[in-house]
Amino acid sequence: MSSVIENRATSTPQDMSKPTSVPETTDGFHLVIEALKLNDIDTIFGLPGIPITDLTRKAQVAGMRMISFRHEQNAGNAAAAAGFLTQKPGICLTVSAPGFLNGLTALANATTNCFPMILISGSSEREIVDLQQGDYEEMDQLAIAKPLCKAAYRVLHAEDIGIGIARAIRAALSGRPGGVYLDLPAKLFAQTMDAAAGRKSLIKVVDPAPRQIPAPDAVKRALDVLKGAKKPLILLGKGAAYAQADADIRALIEKTGIPYLPMSMAKGLLPDTHPQSASATRSHVLAEADVVMLIGARLNWLLSHGKGKTWGAAPKQFIQIDISPTEIDSNVAIAAPLIGDIGSCVSALLAGMGSGWAQPPAEWTSGIAERKDKNQSKMAAQLAARPSPMNFHSALSVIRDQVKTRPDAVVVNEGANTLDFARSIVDMYEPRKRLDVGTWGIMGIGMGFAVAAAVVTGKPVIAIEGDSAFGFSGMEVETICRYNLPVCVVVFNNNGVYKGTDVNPTGHPDVAPTVFVKNARYDKLMEAFGGVGVHATTADELQRALAEAVASGRPTLINAVIDETAGTESGRITSLNPQSAAMKK
C-alpha cells in the first residue's frame, strides 16, 4: 500500500524546529483501491462523475485497468460478464442516483444470471438524504438496490472500507453467485486515517467460494436413479460453464455415454460437434428422455418449467446438481437433488461410478444419432444457399465457419431471430466462449459483454447483433475504439425489430412501431470513431470483412444487410406474445 500513502504534512519555516517524523495518512479513495487490489481485482468498469471521478483516476494511477463507458448499464453488463468469465466479481463503478439507477439493470440481470458482480456507487450525504432535504442527486440507493441483488452494504467510515469490500466479495462469490451493491457516500472518500491502521483494516478474503461437497447418500441416490434410466439425458447450463469443472464434466459425459444438451451459454463446454451432443434433435430428447440430469441449469421458462408438451407424455425423473438448495423442487419434483458445487458433485459422481459404468441402451442413442443426422443435413442445405439479399442462415454460415477456424474467439449474441438462429447455427468449441441474453432474454448486453470479453480474455470477440438489440448499447463502439479492442460487431440489419416490413395501417406518416430507418448504415458509426466500417450485402463480402477483422484485431462493425422479410415475431418464442382475445377468435 506504500504506493498510495500520502504524507500530508506540509513543511513551513515555522515547522522547522518540530520533529520531522509525522504520521503517514491515507484516505477513503486509496483504501477502496487497495482493498480491491488486495483481493486480486485489477479492473474496474465504470463511468466517472461526482463523487467518484477521482477514484477512477487514482485507480488508474495505482495500476488498475479503468475501462470507462458511455452509459453505466453497459459498464455494469461488462462487470457481470467479467464475473462470469473469471470467477472474480466484476466491478462496476458509477456516480450517484441516475448513474446508480443506470447500473441497476445490469446488477439485477447479473443476479438473475448467477454472475458475480459488485456495483459500487457513490452517493449523496446521508444526513441530507435521510431528512429528504434535497441533496444533489438525492436517493436512498441502498434501499432501492436491496430487493434487486443478493446483498447490499453501505460503508460510512474509512476504517470499515476493508470490511465492506470483503463482505461484498464474499457475498458475490459464495454459494450461488450474484450481484452485490456497495454504497459509498461522497464524504467517505476524503476521510483520512493513519496509514498503518488503514493497512491493517484491509481484508484479503480467504476462500471466498468454498467448495461444497455433496453428501455421500445424495451421490448414491443420484447414481441409483441414473442407473435405472433407459433414456437418460444430461442438460448442461451456464452454472456448469461458470464452475470451470470442464475436464470432469467432459469425463462424466464421455464415461456415461449419455446424450447431452447444452443450454445456450453452456455451448462449447464440450465441442458442439461432439458425437453425444443432442442439440440438433432437442425437442425429441426432451420429450422422450426418462431420466434427466440437470447440471447448473434451472427448470425455468427456458426449459418450459420441466413440464407440459416440451417434456412429452413419458414419465420423467430429474437429478439436479446445484449449489442452491432452494432451487430444488422449484417447478417439478426432483427425484435426486445433489447439492454442492458442480466440480465436487461431478467428481463425486465419477468416483461413485467406478469402472465399467453401463452405456445407455443403443436404441436410445442410435435413434438420436439418426435424427441428428437428418436435421443436420437439412441445416447444411440451408447454410449452403446463397440468397440475395442474405438471410439469417447464409450470413450466419459465414460466422460459423469463422468460429470454426478461431475457436478461441468469444461470441456475444443478442436479438430475437439473430439470437435464435445463431444459437443453433454457430457451433462453439471451447467453454465460456458464448455470452448472450441469458435468463431474462435481456436486450442491451451486447457491447458491454463484448468489451469485457475482449478486456478479460484478450481474444477476438465477434458480437452477433440484431439491429434492434445493437441500438441499446451501440454508442459503446466509441469505447471499443478508444481502447482499441479486438471486437468485430456484425449487425444483422433487416430494417426493424423482428423484421422491417410492418406498416402502420392508419395511413399516418409515422412508421409502424417495429420499423427502423430503412437501409441504415451502422458501419458509419464505427468509422466515426476511427474503427473499420464495412457494408456487406453478400456472404462473400461478409466473409472477407470478418476474416480481416479477426486477423487484424481492429475494431470493426459490419453492417450485414439481411432480407427485411426474413425473421419471425420474437424468433422462436412467439408463443410468449399475448394476443388480444379478438385476434384469437
Binding positions for ligand ADP, rule: CB under 6 A: 113-114, 176-177, 237-239, 242-243, 263, 265-266, 296-298, 300, 302, 322-324, 327, 341-342, 439
Pick the closer one to ligand FYN by CB: 283 or 552: 283
Quick check: 281 binds ligand FYN (CB under 6 A)?
yes
Quick check: 572 binds ligand FYN (CB under 6 A)?
yes
Q: Which of 363, 365, 369, 383 is nearest to 427 (CA)?
A: 383
Q: Which helix (H) or strand (E) holds 94?
A: strand 90-94
Alpha-carbon distances of 191 from 121, 155, 183, rounded to whole Å: 17, 12, 15
Pick the closer one to ligand ADP by CB: 60 or 300: 300
The Cα 324–Cα 13 span in angstroms is: 65
Q: List the grid coordinates of 206.
A: 480467504
The Cα 547–Cα 490 span in angstroms is: 12
Q: List the grid coordinates of 53.
A: 471521478
Q: Which of 104, 416, 452, 464 binds ligand FYN (CB under 6 A)?
A: 416
Contact between 559 and 533 (Cβ < 8 Å): yes
Q: How many residues bind ligand FYN (CB under 6 A)?
A: 22
Pick the closer one to ligand FYN by CB: 3 or 574: 574
Pick the closer one to ligand ADP by CB: 239 or 360: 239
The Cα 48–Cα 99 span in angstroms is: 10
Q: Which of 424, 471, 478, 427 is nearest to 451 (CA)?
A: 478
Residue type at 254 in one-letter notation: E
Q: Which does 423 bind (CB under 5 to 8 A by kind): ligand ADP, ligand FYN, none?
A: ligand FYN
Q: Which residue number places its CB atom closest to ligand FYN?
A: 441
Q: Which does 9 bind (CB under 5 to 8 A by kind): ligand FYN, ligand ADP, none?
A: none
Q: Which helix (H) or strand (E) holds 487?
A: strand 487-493
Q: Which of 244, 376, 514, 543 binds ligand FYN (CB under 6 A)?
A: 376
Q: List the grid coordinates of 1.
A: 500500500
Pick the closer one to ligand ADP by CB: 118 or 489: 118
Q: Which does 300 bind (CB under 5 to 8 A by kind): ligand ADP, ligand FYN, none?
A: ligand ADP
The Cα 474–Cα 496 span in angstroms is: 15
**Nearest distance from C-beta of residue 297 to ligand ADP, angstroms:** 3
Quick check: 43 binds ligand FYN (CB under 6 A)?
no
* CB-based contacts of 400, cutoff 8 Å, min separation 6: 383, 425, 426, 427
Q: Which does 297 bind (CB under 5 to 8 A by kind): ligand FYN, ligand ADP, none?
A: ligand ADP
* CB-based contacts of 406, cutoff 8 Å, min separation 6: 460, 550
Q: Which of 337, 446, 567, 571 binds ligand FYN (CB under 6 A)?
A: 571
Pick the closer one to ligand FYN by CB: 27 or 420: 420
Alpha-carbon distances of 172 from 345, 374, 417, 473, 534, rounded to whole Å: 21, 44, 33, 25, 40
The region of 106-114, 135-143, 171-179, 416-424 touching ligand FYN under the rule CB under 6 A is 416-424
In the complex, the residues that contact ligand FYN under the rule CB under 6 A are 264, 279-284, 302, 375-376, 379, 416, 419-420, 423-424, 437, 441, 570-573
